[in-house]
Structure 1
Amino acid sequence: MNLLSWLGQWAFAPMDWLVIGLAVALAYIVFGIAGFGTALVAAPILLLFMPLSKIVPLLVLLDFVAAFGNLLPSRRDVSRPELLRLLPCMAVGCTLGVIFLLNLKSDLLLLLMGLFISAYAIYSLWIKARPSQLSALWAVPMGTVGGTFGALFGSGGLMRWSPPHPARATLSQGVLFSEAI
């Protein structure tokens, strides 16, 4: 495929580029605050302009760059034991997510993405008091599910505890490693 044909598939009107740019900018404001969430914000808007099969790799690349940019300033806040518990489970989850991504029809993937975003939104609005820390055993399902959703939709981001700085730094580095997988 030559460069002109590749660029031709991205021929959007100027207003489309504006909406896409604003969606991505808003998504990365959320990423800067929370350490994850770009797909939850950008993907529903980007779906108006491009297929999910193009959105996921785009957001994975952008998440990798953003997480890499957070590496140096936040490296002291990362909880290495938590990251080491999560990474193997995230690798398993990423493998499952890629298998699902390659074998499920795009309509089903869109439905699953909508359900994922809706479930997360309802959870965020409904649950006011979150436990400060769950058992270390929760790293297995959280890492696996986070890795699966990360590979499927470009956003996983499940953690088992929530002190703001270590959680955001660890989650951001988890995104970096999961995107690299």
Structure 2
Amino acid sequence: MFDFTGLSLSAYLIIFATLAVGYVIFGIVGFGTALVVSPVLAFYVPVSKIVPLLALLDFCAAAVNVGRDGRKANWQELRRLLPLMVAGSLIGAAILLNTRPDVLLLGLGVFVVGYALYSLSGVRPQHQFSPAAALPFGAVGGVFSALFGSGGFVYIIYLTGRIADKTSIRLTQTTLIGFSTFTRVVLFALAGVYLDTSLLWLALLLAPGMLAGTAIGRRITLKMSREQFIRVINLVVLASGIMLLVRYFAAA
């Protein structure tokens, strides 16, 4: 069992600082914590504890943001995406149980990197997805949330192609992540993962970093233009795609 008291002060400070940076990104775009935090946590925390720890902190961060600004979320888009996210999660779970899903990492990684580079290049005209695009994006996001704990970058591609207001994009994305992580937290709780009190203590010790990071991220977003906001999103999406490819080739 992982015992947080085994962490040295320097290790705790490194984790705390990294987590705060990760939640600055979460506060800006509504996802992306794991990109920054997971590689560092892996040096100090058993890998089996990282996903439930971040699921708990992500859910709390999403709840704080939604509680503060939830009225600004686009609930029409949420009504489209949420059922598809649930269906995709069930499909993802079935794939996980019956096949090797690693090859999907390669396909999605190539798509995400290509899309992000295309968006960052500025060569494409502005466009808007049709409501029907919620079907593939919602389902695929759910599949990858179930398989790898990371579907936020799929949802954000859809939302930036549907919603003009950056605050609405951020809050809609955060609400989606809140629902997704709540589902994972419930499953982990039912599996008894959170009976490990050391995990809960670590989450409590890291909570101030999460709160500070999300607050800073929110303030940064309020000062951004929509173009700057979309550029940051595309950079985070690009990093997500690169991490998928790294994960695939590392496992090959």
Q: Is residue 85 from structure 1 mapped to residue 80 from structure 2 by the alignment?
A: yes
The amino acid of 1:161's aligned partner reads L
**Any stretches of 5+ residues in structure 1 without a counterpart?**
1-5
Q: Could you tell me how far 1:36 is from its partner in structure 2?
A: 1.2
Residue 170 of structure 1 deviates from its aligned partner by: 0.5
Q: Distance in 1 between matches of 2:18 and 2:89?
A: 25
Structure with the greater alpha carbon radius of gyration: 2
Q: Which is further off, 69-78 or 168-177? A: 69-78
In structure 2, distance between residues paired with 1:46 and 1:100: 27
Aligned counterpart for 1:171 among listed residues 173, 185, 200: 173
Q: Alpha-carbon deviation of 1:7?
A: 4.6
User: Equivalent residue for 2:195?
Assistant: none
1:64: how far off?
Answer: 0.5
In 1: Cα distance, 2:46 partner to 2:4 partner = 11
Q: How does 1:61-140 map to 2 (within 5 A)?
A: 61-99=56-94, 120=112, 123-128=115-120, 129=122, 131-140=126-135
Cα deviation, residue 123, structure 1: 4.5
Partner of 1:156: 151
State the Cα distance separating 1:22 from its structure 2 match: 1.8
- In structure 1, the partner of 2:204 is none
Percent identity of equivalent pairs: 39
CA distance in 1, matches of 2:14, 2:96: 26
2:48 counterpart (40, 46, 53) = 53
Distance 1:19 1:73, change over 3 A: same
> What TM-score do the two structures reach when normalised by structure 2?
0.57
TM-score by length of 1: 0.76
Deviates most, 13-22 or 57-66: 13-22
Matched pairs, number: 173
Q: Which has the higher contact order (CA 8 A, sep 6+)?
A: 2
The RMSD of aligned alpha carbons is 3.2
Are residues 53 and 170 of structure 1, via their aligned partners in 2, closer, same or farther at CA, if it must alter by over 3 Å?
A: same
- d(CA) in 1 for partners of 2:113, 2:13: 25
- Contact kept, 8 Å, 1:94 with 1:178, in 2: the verdict is no
Q: Which residue of 2 aligns with 1:11?
A: 6
